[in-house]
């Protein structure tokens, strides 16, 4: 069996985030309660937990290949075509990108397609893809 990750994050507005992950990112909703919702996040378990009076911390950035990458962030590595489809869908939806869909490390080890954007609670997400999946952990 492939190992899956589980990630749970706090949010203030459960319904705004539920709509974003379900409708914009097209994650299938799983179990839920009044204060939390499970999602199939591209094959992994992702949970949003409503936390009243939650104050998200401001992201810091780290320079990577000429861009200021927000830290912390999370996301998944998609198949090339799936990444392209998501990028097109997000552009069509008017998504405000932190880092527009781009190719990072072009012509170098680890060349990858990447994009960064925030969810409604300002959690930074990165989605990336490699044409050559052997490059994911290449040095």
| Spacing of C-alpha 83 from chain mean position | 11
Give 22's contacts (C-beta < 8 A, 6+ positions apart). 28, 29, 39
35-94 per-position pLDDT tens digit: 999 999 999 999 999 998 888 777 799 999 889 999 999 999 999 999 999 999 999 999
Q: What is the pLDDT of residue 113?
A: 97
Helix (H, G, I), strand (E, B) or coil at 98: strand
Output the pTM of the full model. Answer: 0.92
Domains defined for the chain, CATH in brackets:
6-50 (3.10.180.10), 60-135 (3.10.180.10)
Mean pLDDT of 21-29: 96
Kindly report the average pLDDT of the chain as a whole number: 94
């Amino acid at each position: 069996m492939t190992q899956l990750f589980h990630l749970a994050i706090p949010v203030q507005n459960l319904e705004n985030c539920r709509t974003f992950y379900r409708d914009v990112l097209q994650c299938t909703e799983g179990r839920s309660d009044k204060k939390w919702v499970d999602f199939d996040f591209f094959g992994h378990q992702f949970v949003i937990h409503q936390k009243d009076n939650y104050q998200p911390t401001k992201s810091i950035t780290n320079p990577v290949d000429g861009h200021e990458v927000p830290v912390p962030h999370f996301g998944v590595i998609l198949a090339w075509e799936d990444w392209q489809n998501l990028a097109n869908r997000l552009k069509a939806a008017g998504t405000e990108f932190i880092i527009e869909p781009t190719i990072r490390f072009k012509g170098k080890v680890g060349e990858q397609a990447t994009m960064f954007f925030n969810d409604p609670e300002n959690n930074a997400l990165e989605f990336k893809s490699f044409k050559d999946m052997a490059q994911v952990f290449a040095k």
